[in-house]
């Protein structure tokens, strides 16, 4: 009877047992197929493969011996296989997004099987209701690295043939080598011998393949080698060492500013009495938008005299635009040009990009792809709130506390909402969580004697014990002068832990957005450390384990992980340049202390002399998976450059340098103040950079495409948002200040800017825009 029922698993049955209620399998997110006495052959793979949005699947109480190997459910995060007859756990390998798995009451599952699951499922955090992320990462990386080193040693001692290693020689030795490795390579307790042999065989096969694999060289790489000039680092003025105990700088460099008289009243900083005096935003064509030629900005002749008015490489590119009736298409033009037609909602444009044989700047198509994805609506932002919520002793007269970092809370994917209106800010001895719509400080954390310089949000799993499913929770990490990382769960108002990341001050914190328990900390002892902080249980127990140390030559100011490969590479903007590191765990690179893979040089370096050092990169953010925005101190422009094409180049052997493949330059302010904020909103193709007068320079890529991309000239901003000029009791205006940090929610509903005069400014997008 059961057999006949099971053969009738149909679309109708799945719709009945799935949720939310819908008439399409592709929209089901949760499915309960428990206690149906299912066997492997009862699961119709073709039908189940349509569940592309499925996040939770309950198959408990059946008779499954394995999971369908060909069934791929890319969004599945929770799977209950308890009370089955599971034997082959390797059949679960295709569930790449799985975070929580239940396997209780499976008689044939061994300790070795548990270990296999932790290795096969790279995102697994909760297993049988317990947080296993720390143990899993130990198996994936530390344990595997030990096995790999033993396998390599066995090969070199007993099997490595004389002369060149060829595929034929390796093939002849393969079977014997793998068999010997399984028998002789031992590590770990005897209770997991089966797991060890299984893993040894996998690693041994990978090792043999690596011996004969040809070194792939992409066409982009060869093009880049021919077209780019590798810049050697320019000799620069020596800066004081951070290890100099007499002149140690434990805080970010203070920026010069003029003090203003403080108001006399004592309003609560929790609900600021600063009142906005809105000014009309200045359009780009009204402001003097060429900082090098403008008279609107104060200039220091020794710093800016003789600066070029054009991009060093721009003279080689030519771009013209005209209205065209054709849809997007590409034709190769006779003179080595490429015509790309773009169809937008309201207009059609044809861009002709001429490839120059001298410098072969063929990367503009990357920027064209960005333009195709951009929303075309004009973004109109208006000032909404100004808050003083980080004041010393809660004094409304404090205009000296510098605010350093802000970030919007990420929302779990399960909420289905695009963005949050809660933003975290830090400065002085406090952290605040602010509701951007109401302007209210929802949470505030103070640590006496601390000065917070950086913060970062992440989403980790919280196990709740018993049969309760683990849930995602947003946590906040913050650090600063004392070198300690504070871990906070704002929703429950719990500061649940801290650990020491450095003996010196922390300059930057960044989580891996794909693996939320991986945290990077940069410090003023010139190090970046990678940590696994795991998840938390219902009692807020956690464990922080250091995984990597990246040796940096100067203080790291920003850390960026490429959106498409956050587990393999890290970019860090430092006081002496932009560096790239490998952060891949396991594999052939098992070193725990790593030096840079490459240094990325920019055209402006060629202009350096005794008076000008442009190597400090004080702004860095990805605009797309490939396009990066970065800012060099003292250079009045922002570079847009291609990560993939830059990385594809072969680094100079002596100094590991490559040249950034620059796509465009954005015109920005002329200032000598360092550490001014730059950030991006990738979903809206939006770039914002603050200046030392409280203004926000905004670049909306969709509108930039309508402006002419004139070769050789930096692109003007879409709009410059003026300092809103807040008044205290309608009497004294607070003059423009330096903008230390900016953040935007993913939907660009709110923009938050932090100043060096203890002010949080919240801008809101006009609903009509």
Res 289: pLDDT: 31
Q: What is the mean pLDDT of the chain?
A: 77
DSSP 8-state secondary structure symbol assigned to residue 157: I
Angle at 747 between CA 743 and CA 751, to 5 degrees: 30
Structural element, H or E, at residue 754: strand 750-755
CATH 2.130.10.10 maps onto the chain at 274-317+356-765
Res 621: pLDDT: 96
CATH 3.80.10.10 maps onto the chain at 2-109
Q: Rounded to an integer, what distance in angstroms lies between the CA atom of residue 699 and that of residue 704?
A: 7
Q: Rounded to an integer, what distance in angstroms lies between the CA atom of residue 49 and that of residue 70?
A: 9
Do 688 and 629 touch, CB atoms closer than 8 A?
no
Res 275: pLDDT: 54
Angle at 417 between CA 412 and CA 423, to 5 degrees: 70
Res 419: pLDDT: 59
- pLDDT of residue 650 exceeding 60, the answer is yes
Q: Rounded to an integer, what distance in angstroms lies between the CA atom of residue 766 and that of residue 750?
A: 10
Res 416: pLDDT: 43
Of these ranges, 152-156, 271-275, 524-528, 673-677, the one predicted with the greatest mean pLDDT is 524-528
Please tell me which residue, 101 or 1, carries the higher pLDDT value: 101
Buried b (16+ CB within 10 A) or exposed e, 331-340: eeeeeeebbb
Do 475 and 457 touch, CB atoms closer than 8 A?
yes
Sort 230 into a burial class: Cβ within 10 Å, 0-12 / 13-18 / 19+.
middle
Q: What CATH code would you report for 274-317+356-765?
A: 2.130.10.10
Scan for tokens 């208006």, then name that residue. Answer: 382
Res 231: pLDDT: 32
Res 255: pLDDT: 41
- Token duo for residue 730: 């309608």
- pLDDT of residue 221 exceeding 60, the answer is no
Total length of the chain: 769
Q: Rounded to an integer, what distance in angstroms lies between the CA atom of residue 117 and that of residue 733?
A: 62
Instruction: Give the count of alpha carbons within 13 A of 411, CB side only.
Output: 13
- pLDDT of residue 551 exceeding 90, the answer is yes
- pLDDT by residue (tens digit) across 731-751? 556 776 899 999 999 989 999
Res 274: pLDDT: 58
Q: What is the mean pLDDT of residues 108-125?
A: 90
DSSP 8-state secondary structure symbol assigned to residue 27: G
User: How many angstroms separate the Cα of 233 from the Cα of each of 253, 606, 616?
Assistant: 24, 9, 12
Name which of 78-82, 225-229, 443-447, 608-612 the model is least confident about: 225-229
- pLDDT by residue (tens digit) across 323-381? 333 333 333 333 333 333 333 333 333 333 333 333 333 444 445 444 444 445 668 89
Res 365: pLDDT: 46
Q: What is the mean pLDDT of residues 203-208?
A: 90
- Token duo for residue 412: 């779990």
Question: For residue 475, how many other CB atoms are within 10 A of its CB?
Answer: 27
- pLDDT of residue 257 exceeding 70, the answer is no
- pLDDT of residue 26 exceeding 50, the answer is yes
Percent of the chain exceeding pLDDT 90 equals 45
Question: 35-41: long-range contacts at Cβ-Cβ below 8 A with a sequence spacing of 24 or more?
Answer: 35/60, 35/61, 35/62, 36/2, 36/5, 36/6, 36/61, 36/62, 37/2, 37/6, 37/62, 37/63, 38/6, 38/62, 38/63, 38/64, 39/6, 39/63, 39/64, 39/65, 40/64, 40/65, 40/66, 40/68
- pLDDT by residue (tens digit) across 592-605? 889 999 999 999 88
Res 413: pLDDT: 53
Residues facing residue 582 across a β-bridge: 569
The class of domain 2-109 in CATH terms is: alpha beta
Res 619: pLDDT: 93
Structural element, H or E, at residue 617: strand 617-622
Please tell me which residue, 256 or 390, carries the higher pLDDT value: 390
First-to-last alpha carbon distance for the chain, in angstroms, is 61
Give the confidence band of 225 by pLDDT, cuts at 50, 70, 90: very low
Residues facing residue 19 across a β-bridge: 30
Q: Rounded to an integer, what distance in angstroms lies between the CA atom of residue 101 and that of residue 86?
A: 13
Res 589: pLDDT: 67
Q: Rounded to an integer, what distance in angstroms lies between the CA atom of residue 635 and that of residue 671?
A: 8
Q: Rounded to an integer, what distance in angstroms lies between the CA atom of residue 294 and that of residue 307?
A: 13
- pLDDT by residue (tens digit) across 572-584? 999 999 999 999 8
Structural element, H or E, at residue 192: none
Going by C-beta distance under 8 Å and a sequence separation of 6 or more, which residues neighbour residue 459? 410, 412, 472, 473, 474, 475, 516
Give the confidence band of 182 by pLDDT, cuts at 50, 70, 90: very high
Q: Rounded to an integer, what distance in angstroms lies between the CA atom of residue 60 and that of residue 165?
A: 50
Q: In terms of Cα–Cα distance, which of 431, 476, 475 is closest to 453? A: 431
Res 55: pLDDT: 94
Q: What is the mean pLDDT of residues 152-180?
A: 90
């Amino acid at each position: 009877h059961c057999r006949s029922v099971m053969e009738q698993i149909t679309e109708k049955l799945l719709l009945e047992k799935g949720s939310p209620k819908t008439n399409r399998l592709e929209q089901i997110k949760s499915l309960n197929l428990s206690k149906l006495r299912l066997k492997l052959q009862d699961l119709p793979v073709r039908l189940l493969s349509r569940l592309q949005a499925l996040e939770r699947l309950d198959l408990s109480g059946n008779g499954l011996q394995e999971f369908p190997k060909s069934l791929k459910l890319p969004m599945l995060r929770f799977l209950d296989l308890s009370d089955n007859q599971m034997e082959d756990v390797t059949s679960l390998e295709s569930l790449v997004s799985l975070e929580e798995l239940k396997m209780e009451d499976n008689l044939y599952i061994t300790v070795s099987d548990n270990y296999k699951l932790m290795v096969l499922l790279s995102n697994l955090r909760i297993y049988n209701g317990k947080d296993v992320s720390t143990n899993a990462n130990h198996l994936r990386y530390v344990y595997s690295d030990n096995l790999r080193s033993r396998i390599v040693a066995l090969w070199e001692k007993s099997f490595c043939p004389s002369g060149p290693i060829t595929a034929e020689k390796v093939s002849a030795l393969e079977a014997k080598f793998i068999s010997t490795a399984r028998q002789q390579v031992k590590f770990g307790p005897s209770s997991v011998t089966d797991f060890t042999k299984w893993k040894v065989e996998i690693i041994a096969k990978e090792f043999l393949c690596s011996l004969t694999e040809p070194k792939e060289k992409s066409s982009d790489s060869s093009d880049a080698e021919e077209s780019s000039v590798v810049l050697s680092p320019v000799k620069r003025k020596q800066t004081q060492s951070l290890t100099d105990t007499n002149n140690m700088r434990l805080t970010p460099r203070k920026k010069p500013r003029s003090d203003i008289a403080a108001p006399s009243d004592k309003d609560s900083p929790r609900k600021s009495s600063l009142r906005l005096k809105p000014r009309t935003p200045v359009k780009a064509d009204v402001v003097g938008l060429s900082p090098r030629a403008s008279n609107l900005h104060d200039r220091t002749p020794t710093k800016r005299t003789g600066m070029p008015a054009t991009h060093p490489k721009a003279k080689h590119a030519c771009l013209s635009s005209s209205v065209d009736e054709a849809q997007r298409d590409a034709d190769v033009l006779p003179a080595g040009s490429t015509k790309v037609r773009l169809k937008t909602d309201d207009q059609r444009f044809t861009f002709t990009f001429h490839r120059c044989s001298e410098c072969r700047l063929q990367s503009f198509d990357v920027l064209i792809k960005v333009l195709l994805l951009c929303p075309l609506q004009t973004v109109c932002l208006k000032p909404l709130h100004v808050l003083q919520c980080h004041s010393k002793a809660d004094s409304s007269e404090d205009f000296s506390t510098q605010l350093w970092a802000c970030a919007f809370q990420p929302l779990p994917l399960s909420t289905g909402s695009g963005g949050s209106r809660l933003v975290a800010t830090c400065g002085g001895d406090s952290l605040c969580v602010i509701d951007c719509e109401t302007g209210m400080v929802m949470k505030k954390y103070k640590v006496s004697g601390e000065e917070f310089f950086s913060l970062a949000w992440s989403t980790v799993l919280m196990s709740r014990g018993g049969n309760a499913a683990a849930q995602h929770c947003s946590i906040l990490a913050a650090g600063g002068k004392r070198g300690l990382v504070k871990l906070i769960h704002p929703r429950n108002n719990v500061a649940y832990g801290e650990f020491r990341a450095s003996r010196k001050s922390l300059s930057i914190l960044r989580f891996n957005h794909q693996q939320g328990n991986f945290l990077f900390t940069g410090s003023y002892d010139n190090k970046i450390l990678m940590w696994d902080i795991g998840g938390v249980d219902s009692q807020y127990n956690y464990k922080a384990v250091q995984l990597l140390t990246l040796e940096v030559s100067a203080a790291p100011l920003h850390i960026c992980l490429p959106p498409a490969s956050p587990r393999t590479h890290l970019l860090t903007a430092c006081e002496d340049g932009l560096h790239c590191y490998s952060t891949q765990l396991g594999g052939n690179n098992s070193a725990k202390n790593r030096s840079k893979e490459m240094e990325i040089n920019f055209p402006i370096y060629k202009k350096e002399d005794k008076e000008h050092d442009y190597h400090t990169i004080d702004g860095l953010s990805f605009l797309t998976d490939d396009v990066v925005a970065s800012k060099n101190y003292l250079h009045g422009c922002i570079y847009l450059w291609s990560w993939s094409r830059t990385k594809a180049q072969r680094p100079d052997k002596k100094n590991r340098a490559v040249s950034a493949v620059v796509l465009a330059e954005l015109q920005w302010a002329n200032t000598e103040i360092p550490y001014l904020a730059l950030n991006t909103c990738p979903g809206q193709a939006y770039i914002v950079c603050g200046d030392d007068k409280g203004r926000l320079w905004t670049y909306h890529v969709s509108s930039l495409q309508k402006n002419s991309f004139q070769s050789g000239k930096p692109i003007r901003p879409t709009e410059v948002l003026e300092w809103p000029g807040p008044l205290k009791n309608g009497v004294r205006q607070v003059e423009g200040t330096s903008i230390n940090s900016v953040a935007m929610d993913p939907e660009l509903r709110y923009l938050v800017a932090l100043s060096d005069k203890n002010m949080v400014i919240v801008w809101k997008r006009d609903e009509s825009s």
